Structure 1
């Protein structure tokens, strides 16, 4: 089942402390952004990629796409101050498609199998997101004091991609813009419409490159995957 994917790529990456867009940092000699793009470039069901970028980085990113043979990018609209604004910027330029995925450009380890499950679930139910079950004991804390221990059996750590029927995510984005609501992710915007969002179990390898420690984890994952191909 075919889909298009939106990748917000206009962040600053302050927590990485790299002094540049963290997506340009390399994992085993290749930029994080390219690792992520290659997942969708190599997936036969992906018919288009949309990258929300900083205007001052657009030319550099175009050169990077050409250098690594990334051909599915359909547009590079201006990113916004917040992730939600960047996604909406892409959605405004897209033509009607069946399914839209929104994925963190800094999550290069998502697999085709999980993507396929998300796309199918979004087709069947309208909205689906990737996540993994909480592994640690969870506490609710206020002002540095534990108020209660939360049952982790019902808790999931949410990742991306998040997948939606095109009309549903367009409506959710438009409504949020009209009322000035800023959500933490696209699923939250859909939830505000009263629409159920289904969960698709992902893997703990689908980590987001956020801190310098994540780069070490990322390289370890890549080395293992390379080793498994031989």
Structure 2
């Protein structure tokens, strides 16, 4: 089955307190985006990438591709005003039936094992959404300001990549945009399809605040050290 990863890298750096978007910040002399792209390309030799970038950062995106990757495996789409529009623009470049991964560029610490697990589930069921258990206590705030405790065992923390057969995802993105479309699963559900949950990864964090960049760097450095030690053994 064809495999296409739509990597959404159209975000700004506002919550990081930096004019440079987080996907272009550096970890060990390589941009965050490098690690995300490299993991997907390493997962399968036939993986193709559609990188969605804000128009003003097309040059930086192309520089990263030129420096580190084979150009024939990566296409570029221009992002839109919303995540929904950005993903839709990326999906418009898919020409054949495929298993489609949609992933946040700022989640640079995912593993190939998670990619494989999501792929296998999507092949079997048509969808795969990685989730994690909620370890914190949860409270629901009502419109009148009152609040109540929620059973955290019934709550899942949603990650990416969110993975679908193209015959499900592409037509789903032809429906009208709604404000509650915060991810691809919500779009597919509005289209009338159920989604399949799979086990995510605790280390698959999304870089949002400065401390997240430090955590991601520590994770990647630890993995590199383990791989180096394994190679020397």
The interval holding the TM-score normalised by the smaller chain is over 0.9
The CA RMSD over aligned residues, in Å, is 1.7
Matches within 5 A, 1:159-174: 159-174=159-174
Deviations 1:159-204 (A, max 9, x none): 00000010110111001xxx33240000001111221101111111
Structure 1 unpaired stretches of 5+ = none
Give the Å deviation of 1:84.
1.1
Give the Å deviation of 1:136.
0.9
Matches within 5 A, 1:194-213: 194-213=192-211
Deviations 1:111-138 (A, max 9, x none): 1111111111111111111111101111
Q: Show the counterpart of 1:121.
A: 121
TM-score (norm 1): 0.92
Tell me the distance in 1 between the aligned counterparts of 2:19 and 2:98: 38
8 Å Cα contact 1:12-1:21 kept in structure 2: yes
Q: Show the counterpart of 1:112.
A: 112
Give the Å deviation of 1:141.
2.1
Change (3 A) 1:191 1:31: same
Q: Does 1:181 align with 2:174?
A: no
Q: Show the counterpart of 2:141.
A: 141
Change (3 A) 1:146 1:111: farther
TM-score (norm 2): 0.91
8 Å Cα contact 1:49-1:72 kept in structure 2: no
What is the number of equivalent residue pairs in this alignment? 227
8 Å Cα contact 2:84-2:177 kept in structure 1: no
The structure 1 segments of at least 4 consecutive aligned residues displaced by more than 3 Å after TM superposition are: 70-74, 142-146
Structure 2 unpaired stretches of 5+ = none
